[in-house]
Chains A and B, each alone.
Chain A
């Protein structure tokens, strides 16, 4: 089955710097790759996603890139702010349905003021 790895497990950056989190997946049939942000005491919130027919997607300070050949995708956050501090999860799916989601182990991002 699908296996999703995520690095780093923890990341500390200074406010205003950029943060990059990388994920790799094993199943070449996976075609949907969302990123979720989970703040303390809350459920995960979708922040950006990308499908396998697209190489890059951007939404304000957040961008995701996908390399299908290498089977890895990355989350890029620019101009980080303290409110970006949270745990970030990547996931891979072969379809549009939650039962196919495999989540990465998560990255705890700390943005230092």
Chain B
């Protein structure tokens, strides 16, 4: 199955600043997905990132707050902009696993905004 490296694994940030999260996959994938997992909660899809086109955002998430880049088929970044304490969550990237019918997740970035 695909191997995903996600950085940073955790960070503590000041409110009003921005953090960029990186997701690197060991194989080429068409779509990459970014999720948010609030403390003790389930996973919510933020957006889908295709290489060569703008990301598609889910209801409640906007590009100005969560800009996404997808420069090639193995890499994507998610930026959390102008952060507030409410943005404190785990952010995860995911890809479709070509070797199975499921999806592989990165280990996540645990973000705390103070």
Cross-chain contact B31 with A89 (CB below 8 angstroms)? no
- Closest residue of B by beta carbon distance from A90: B42
Q: Distance (Å) between the CB of A8 and the closest chain B CB?
A: 15
- Closest residue of B by beta carbon distance from A43: B105
A51 contacts across to B, CB distance below 8 A: 101
**1/0 per residue B41-75: CB within 8 Å of A?**
11111001000000010100000000000000000
Cross-chain contact A101 with B100 (CB below 8 angstroms)? no
Cα–Cα distance between A111 and B112 once the two chains are bound (Å): 30
Cα–Cα distance between A43 and B114 once the two chains are bound (Å): 24
Q: A98-B48, A98-B94, A99-B48 are in contact. Are A46 and B42 (CB under 8 A)?
A: no
Cross-chain contact B106 with A97 (CB below 8 angstroms)? no
Interface residue SS majority, chain B: strand
Cα–Cα distance between A46 and B31 once the two chains are bound (Å): 18
A103 contacts across to B, CB distance below 8 A: 42-44
B101's partner among A36, A41, A49 (CB-CB below 8 A) is A49
Number of residues from B at the complex interface, CB < 8 A: 26
A49 contacts across to B, CB distance below 8 A: 101-102
Q: Which among B92, B104, B105, B107 has the greatest number of chain A C-beta atoms within 10 A?
A: B105
The contact size tier of chain A is: 20 to 34
Cross-chain contact B108 with A98 (CB below 8 angstroms)? no
Q: Distance (Å) between the CB of B49 and the closest chain A CB?
A: 10
Cross-chain contact B108 with A99 (CB below 8 angstroms)? no
New A-B pairs, 13, CB < 8 Å, besides A98-B33, A99-B33: A34-B103, A41-B107, A42-B107, A43-B105, A43-B107, A45-B105, A46-B100, A46-B104, A98-B45, A98-B96, A99-B31, A101-B103, A105-B41
Binding site for B on A (CB under 8 A): 32, 34, 36, 41-46, 49, 51, 89, 96-99, 101, 103-106
Binding site for A on B (CB under 8 A): 4, 6, 31, 33, 41-45, 48, 56, 58, 92, 94, 96-97, 100-108, 110
Pairs A–B under 8 Å by Cβ, sample size 30: A32-B101, A34-B103, A36-B105, A41-B110, A42-B108, A43-B107, A44-B92, A44-B105, A45-B105, A46-B100, A46-B103, A89-B42, A89-B43, A96-B96, A96-B101, A97-B48, A97-B96, A98-B31, A98-B33, A98-B48, A98-B94, A98-B96, A98-B103, A99-B31, A99-B33, A99-B45, A99-B56, A101-B45, A103-B42, A103-B43
